[in-house]
Structure 1
Amino acid sequence: MRFLVWLFRRQLGGQAKALGWGTLHMATVALIPVAMGLTVQAVVDGSGRGLAAAGALLLAMTVLMAAADTMLHRTAVTNWITAAARVQQLLARRTALLGSVLTRRVAAGEVVKVSTGDVEKIGWFVESFSRFAAAVVVATAVCTGLVVYQPRLGLLVLAGVAAVVLTVFPLLPAAERRADAVRAKGGRATELASDTVAGLRVLRGIGGEELFLARYRRASQEMRTASVHSARMWALIDAVQVLVPGLLLTAVVWQGARMALDGRITPGELVTVYGAATFLLFPLRLFQEAASAFVFSRPSARRAVRVLGLRRPAAGDGAPDPAGTAVPPDGELHDPASGLTAAHAALTCVVCGNPDAAERLAARLGGHPADPEGLPSVRLGGIPLDELPLAAARTAVLVQDKDPVLLSGTLAELLDVPCSGAVPPDRALAAAQCDDVLAALAPGGPDRDGDPMRARITERGRSLSGGQRQRLALARSLLTDPQVLVLDEPTSAVDSHTEARIAEGLRALRSGRTTVVFTSSPLLLDRADQVVFVPDGRVAAAGRHRDLLRTDPAYRAVVTREPDPPGGPGAARPGPAAEYAEETA
């Protein structure tokens, strides 16, 4: 509710305009029964002048009603779009701030649901509230006028309006619960659909299409059942809104006709009262619409607040820097939790043996800890990363995970990233060994002119092989030229010859910059200035690759894919085996 109130406060001007135009529009509609009553009475009295005056009044009211309705629609839709756009902007900023933390906290299908359907529901409630407020003002005025004008009929109409409200509103909590269930099951179905589409190639390779199709079919049927269950409640609410007002009109006509036959009211007054009672069906419909919008918007707002309320566990939130003027530090990168130190301006390779542990450690080095409780911050040049502004931390350290994402668009758009300008795109592509990728993309340009930079890359790069996607992502990371570049298995999907050339290109291009590579590939390890062995979350050994092969059996077992020696990880191995392992590496 605080979030919805905040949205209202952000556009009070638009809400005031909609309230004003809505009140004018509905007040004009409410006065039509008065003009109709004057018209009928003029006919009964045979007054031509009275009939002409009533006709002129109806014409003026019609013009005013049309103008007010037009401006109300324009203002209300503007409020709707403004609220929806504001929520989308907030979600986009929060997504950019959270980074990879978002998908670890919230399912991808849930994020898609919030950023599409939920923002529309929130905007709908913001838009409908001003018309609801105008309906309350005008309906209150009409009921008061009826009680004053014809107390008996006015009280009857007032009782009927209260009956409609009292019979509908108790049904709304149940309708809200059912609508919330529909959204939850819809988010699950969307998530399954996204996962199926993203992994379609793999599913076909292992013959798992039918398995995932059956899962999605079950989720879809559960959503359909919940939707029907919810629709029944809304059908009941609609039926009540038809039945009770119908009984009200019947009672008004019956009572009014008896009073007219007794001569207590004139035919014109009967038409006025009946018209006013009929008009009240209009604001009652707006009440029901506002209630529906509120019921649908509350779960949507709750999910939006859940995403907007997420916080990064550390890194960069401690020192605000709205102008973005903070200069990132430089120096060695040190992780107190693991004892890992990456020397300044050197190529450091890290061997973990456990891919999950390597991923967590790489995230920590970039200031994105997965489990920060009790763990000290990584330090760059002696300064903790979580004390830096977020922009400065991201400028200083860039982490490329093992499954980087390629956004759809042209190759030029893919490489259009914030960078220092010191590394041109052609050098980055060459260092990442993307020659075959450029050759494959060249015929796909819009004009068939052979320019690969204008060729389009499909969503997530699905038209490319795994190795090609990995090398394009590496080129993008090299292009940014950060002070510290952390790469998690950047060559796991390429062949050994290409991997050797990438190792040479990476070392040459990153000369003078700090680079940390998580890998167990001997081709990369042999070209590192320093290799750090982190088997169980703590540094166990550090040195040159060939020296560690000779002196550390556990390291040799991880790198050469051999089982631990019989004596355990610390047992010595005979000299010939070490020499053979070194030659093999």
Structure 2
Amino acid sequence: MNGHPTTATGLLRRALHRHPRQLGAATLLLSLHQACEALVPVAIGVTIDRAVSTGSVPALLASLGATAVLFVVLSQAYRFGARHVVAGWFTETHQLRVEVAARVLDPHGLRGTPPTGELLSIATNDAERVGRVVEAASLVVAGTTALAVSAVGLLTISVPLGIGVLLGAPLLVGLLQLLSPWLTRRTATQQEDVARTAGLATDLVRGTRVLRGIGAEDAATERYRRTSAAALASTLRAAGAVGTYRGATVLGSGLFLLAVAGVAGALALDGAMTVGQLVTVVGLAQFLAEPVGLLGFAGQKVAEARASAARVVGVLAAEPLHPTGVPPLPGPGRLELPALGFHVEPGRTTGVVTTDPADAEALVALLGGRRAALPGELLLDGQDVAGLDPAAVRARVLVEPHAVVLFEGTLRTAVDPAGAADEAALRTSLTAAGAADLADLELAVADRGRSLSGGQRQRVGLARALLRGPDVLVLHDPTTAVDAVTEGEIAAGLARLRAGRTTVLVTSSPALLGRCDRVVVLREGAVVAEGPHHELAGRPDYAAAVLR
């Protein structure tokens, strides 16, 4: 639907297909390295038979020279092969992270969006594990090459030994792969539990002040303790599976080595091979543990990559929250919610007061596109938003949420991320947002605005929204973290800067509501009253929600 692979296997295949140069070079060079490694015992055996046993100095010098060349080739092949592996691995990881970020930021949204912390885990840890499939693929070919060269070397010495290696090595690798599905399941469960814990930790850190305010620290701590304990248990189970897999690899390769060396020793005692050939066979038998280990390591990484690929595909191939629609026609910016009997007059400032905070959250989620509008539920200038292009709707209707998020940078980039506004416009927006005291536009702003106070973050977020100057601006409780004097300044600044434009204030602030042309009161999903603030102040339910 969106051009992305829809299965974990498809994602892994694409990762291999879109890096042909790095994968090809890495496979060729690492295979050359493994072939040279396998030839080292052969070179030592030839040196013993042709130089040491005969006492020939020229033969010794020639053998040493050839061995030196062999070591130079194998070392350089590994050096450049590893470089191509890392290049392909990191390039795929980067591309996956960009794709995940683009999918998350897509105006069409995601249906069933995971928590922020879990998305972060998918975009970092899971993307990296998927990228390692490039390494695993090159190691599979390199390990197979080493086994093939070793088998050929043994065949030239002893046909039974060579046949034994050709039959035994694939059998051993096949038996090890029987553990792969079990390892994949354990790894997938561990990654899900860790991501869930990371998401919960992110939410708790962001909501620390709220939790303290309502006295819910103990409940939150207990919830995190349970989630963390589950993540620990699944991590230990996954580590046990990895340990079992690696142990089986070491045990299997050790038994294989023992069998080959035992047969070679028996043949040497019978005089069927020379001393040099015996050394070659024993050396190859010892070396066989390396390619078998490489194949086992590659199998482990493929299992981890497959589990992570399933999680990445879950984001990339997720159904969009908003279907593709047509651009809205130009209009004055009239919003209507027919089911609520609620409308926003264009060019006016409308206040919205809810007796239940959940109603305010639901309204803001609908206007901001965090919830898909049902057919006929929300109209923009008479057009059904459910059939409009979400990106175009957001360009006209801007919703500044209550929880302000700022990126790391300076005050200038926090207010104007696009860098398109001049200094005069920046300062006008800051003044209207009651942030004229933040005079230094080059002031450093930490990630999420941690270097600013709560009130400063809120005012900077408001200034950012005002600078955009959208046709319709929706603000949700934009002054909860400021004092009464600053709140009055913001109310005056909003009235001045948004004069003649459509503005919706979902708030319980008397200072802001007093500046509204009209205030609508919502209760249980319906309009129960509307009028100027000073007239509604006489209603008990309105006074209970607003006056403080």
Determine if the TM-score, normalized by the shorter chain, exceeds 0.5: yes
Cα pair distance change 1:96/1:291, threshold 3 Å: same
Supply the distance in 2 between the matched residues of 1:394 and 1:21 (Cα, whole angstroms).
51
Q: Secondary structure, in 3 states, of the residue corresponding to 2:263? A: helix
2:66: which partner in 1? 57
Q: How does 1:202-213 map to 2 (within 5 A)?
A: 202=210, 212-213=220-221
1:93: which partner in 2? 102
Q: Secondary structure, in 3 states, of the residue corresponding to 1:349? A: strand
User: 1:69 offset after TM fit, Å?
Assistant: 0.9
1:302-330 per-position Cα deviation (integer Å, ceiling 9, x unaligned): 22222223344226x3359xxxxx99655
Supply the distance in 1 between the matched residues of 2:212 and 2:346 (Cα, whole angstroms).
46
- 1:80 aligned to 72, 89, 97, which one? 89
Q: Which 10-residue stretch deviates more, 282-291 or 326-335?
A: 326-335
TM normalised by structure 2 equals 0.87
Amino acid at match of 1:365: L
Tell whether 2:172 aligns with 1:164.
yes
1:499-548 per-position Cα deviation (integer Å, ceiling 9, x unaligned): 33322221110123221122344433333233334434344555544566
Q: How does 1:93-492 map to 2 (within 5 A)?
A: 93-97=102-106, 105-143=113-151, 146-147=154-155, 150-202=158-210, 212-213=220-221, 215-314=223-322, 317-319=324-326, 330-366=332-368, 368-370=369-371, 372=373, 374-376=374-376, 378-385=378-385, 387-418=387-418, 421=421, 424-435=425-436, 438=438, 452-462=440-450, 464-492=452-480
Amino acid at match of 2:543: T
Supply the distance in 2 between the matched residues of 1:57 and 1:114 (Cα, whole angstroms).
49
Retained in 1: the 8 A contact 2:332–2:347?
A: no
Which consecutive residues of structure 1, in runs of 5 or more, have no partner in the other structure?
A: 321-325, 439-450, 551-555, 563-580
Retained in 2: the 8 A contact 1:339–1:538?
A: yes
Retained in 2: the 8 A contact 1:328–1:392?
A: no
Amino acid at match of 2:144: V
2:43: which partner in 1? 35
Q: Which 10-residue stretch deviates more, 400-409 or 212-221?
A: 212-221
Q: Which 10-residue stretch deviates more, 480-489 or 400-409?
A: 400-409
Cα pair distance change 1:528/1:218, threshold 3 Å: closer
Q: Secondary structure, in 3 states, of the residue corresponding to 1:516? A: strand
Q: Secondary structure, in 3 states, of the residue corresponding to 1:454? A: coil
1:121-147 per-position Cα deviation (integer Å, ceiling 9, x unaligned): 222222221122232244235435644
1:84-114 per-position Cα deviation (integer Å, ceiling 9, x unaligned): 1111111221222269x66972123312221
Retained in 2: the 8 A contact 1:329–1:383?
A: no
Supply the distance in 2 between the matched residues of 1:311 and 1:376 (Cα, whole angstroms).
21
User: 1:205 offset after TM fit, Å?
Assistant: 5.9
Retained in 1: the 8 A contact 2:413–2:419?
A: no
Q: Which 10-residue stretch deviates more, 476-485 or 498-507?
A: 498-507
Supply the distance in 2 between the matched residues of 1:183 and 1:506 (Cα, whole angstroms).
47
User: 1:292 offset after TM fit, Å?
Assistant: 1.1
Q: Which 10-residue stretch deviates more, 138-147 or 337-346?
A: 138-147
Which consecutive residues of structure 2, in runs of 5 or more, have no partner in the other structure?
A: 1-8
Supply the distance in 2 between the matched residues of 1:107 and 1:155 (Cα, whole angstroms).
55
Taking CA–CA contacts closer than 8 Å with sequence separation of 6 or more, which of the two structures ends up with the larger relative contact order? Answer: 2
Q: How does 1:505-524 map to 2 (within 5 A)?
A: 505-524=493-512
Cα pair distance change 1:90/1:60, threshold 3 Å: same
Q: Which 10-residue stretch deviates more, 82-91 or 116-125?
A: 116-125
1:163-191 per-position Cα deviation (integer Å, ceiling 9, x unaligned): 53244222232222222333233223323
User: 1:262 offset after TM fit, Å?
Assistant: 2.5
Supply the distance in 1 between the matched residues of 2:35 and 2:135 (Cα, whole angstroms).
19
User: 1:72 offset after TM fit, Å?
Assistant: 0.3
1:277-301 per-position Cα deviation (integer Å, ceiling 9, x unaligned): 3332221111111111112122211
Q: Secondary structure, in 3 states, of the residue corresponding to 2:53? A: helix
1:427-454 per-position Cα deviation (integer Å, ceiling 9, x unaligned): 1122122245x3xxxxxxxxxxxx5323
Identity %: 36
Equivalent pairs counted in the alignment come to 538
Retained in 2: the 8 A contact 1:487–1:516?
A: yes
Cα pair distance change 1:226/1:34, threshold 3 Å: same
Retained in 2: the 8 A contact 1:327–1:392?
A: no
Supply the distance in 2 between the matched residues of 1:239 and 1:501 (Cα, whole angstroms).
69
User: 1:15 offset after TM fit, Å?
Assistant: 1.1
Amino acid at match of 2:88: N
User: 1:234 offset after TM fit, Å?
Assistant: 2.6
User: 1:353 offset after TM fit, Å?
Assistant: 2.6
Supply the distance in 2 between the matched residues of 1:199 and 1:549 (Cα, whole angstroms).
32
Supply the distance in 2 between the matched residues of 1:81 and 1:276 (Cα, whole angstroms).
34
Amino acid at match of 2:325: G
Cα pair distance change 1:207/1:529, threshold 3 Å: closer
User: 1:394 offset after TM fit, Å?
Assistant: 2.5
